[in-house]
Amino acid sequence: MRSTLIIVFLFASSCLLGQHKEAMMSINGTKLFVKTIGKGEPIVVVHGGPGMNHTYFMPHIHQLTKDYQVILYDQRASGQSATPSPDSVTLSFFADDIEGIRKATGQDKITLLAHSWGAIPAMEYAKRYPEQTKAIIFCNSIPLNKDFDNEMKENQLRKTSGLDSTDRSIIMGSPNFKAGKASAYRKLLLLSFRNSFAKQSNFHKLNFDLPANYVTASGALYAGLGKELLSYDYYPDLKQMPFPVLVMYGEEDAIPAKSQEMITDNAPNSQIEVFKKSGHFIFIEEKKKFGAEINKFMKGLR
């Protein structure tokens, strides 16, 4: 196991939602940005991507901080975290980063809240560290193998309009995009999520920041993860994971429902909850239900 060195917190401040700490931590040879909000049972949030960061959860995740210690972080080569060389951007490093965060925050076991692509590093962690995994909450998980890729692309295409294609061309033809400006890539990413909501007006509630080095960091991500992302299958691994699993997904998501059902088909101690008025961001579109389902699940762990 790689050694873990923890750098002191840069600052700590109290806020209306409880304890709020932000830190740059040196974990497994790279510096990771970690934000901890609230008190109580710990929940580690594993963001989607690859290449996104924790900011798109804000402020929607705040409702959980009333009862739980919510630990958000930017994955390596993402957000405010450092960009190491591609040979240290692998799923094993992603899993060891979560383990480093567990140790740094003094937890015996952790519950993972994994959104979208975050399900992949979460599964890699649970596979490598089953004794330290208390539970997993899958939130709009991408499929855990490649079998659903074509169906998912077809679902996305059905949601794409001529206006989307035009707007995409305008952004990609802009001087800022050609110059690799993070502001232009942010617009492109936002556009890619415009049809990810059951109610399109909810799209305006989605917000996130991208670092100035987004293009360079993304290059390192895909250079490091590229081969691993070509082929994987975590469904069989679920059979060996006895801890509780909650699957939550939006009925209007482009991600096939069968891929979500296969999680509960394989995980022996699992349950599923469908959000009928949501797409890919259930914590935005059905915030109250999202909080209520997590509360009910977490209480069952005690």
Could you state, in order of their start, the residue ranges of all structural domains in the chain? Answer: 11-148+216-301
- Record the tokens describing residue 76, joined without a space: 């390596």
pTM for the predicted model, two decimal places: 0.92
Task: Report pLDDT for 280.
Answer: 98
Where is 170: in which H helix or E strand? Answer: helix 162-172
End-to-end, the C-alpha distance of the chain in Å comes to: 30
Alpha-carbon 110 to chain mean position:
15
pLDDT, tens digit, 9 for 90 and up, residues 180-227: 999 999 999 999 999 999 999 999 999 999 999 999 999 999 999 999
CB count in 10 Å sphere of residue 99? 19
Give residue-wise pLDDT tens across range 117-163: 999 999 999 999 999 999 999 999 999 999 999 999 999 999 999 99
Tell which CATH architecture fits domain 11-148+216-301. Answer: 3-Layer(aba) Sandwich (3.40)
Question: How many angstroms from the chain centroid is the CA of residue 138?
Answer: 9
Q: How confident is the model over 70-112, as pLDDT tens digits?
A: 999 999 999 999 999 999 999 999 999 999 999 999 999 999 9
Residue 223, φ and ψ in degrees, nearest 5: -70, -40
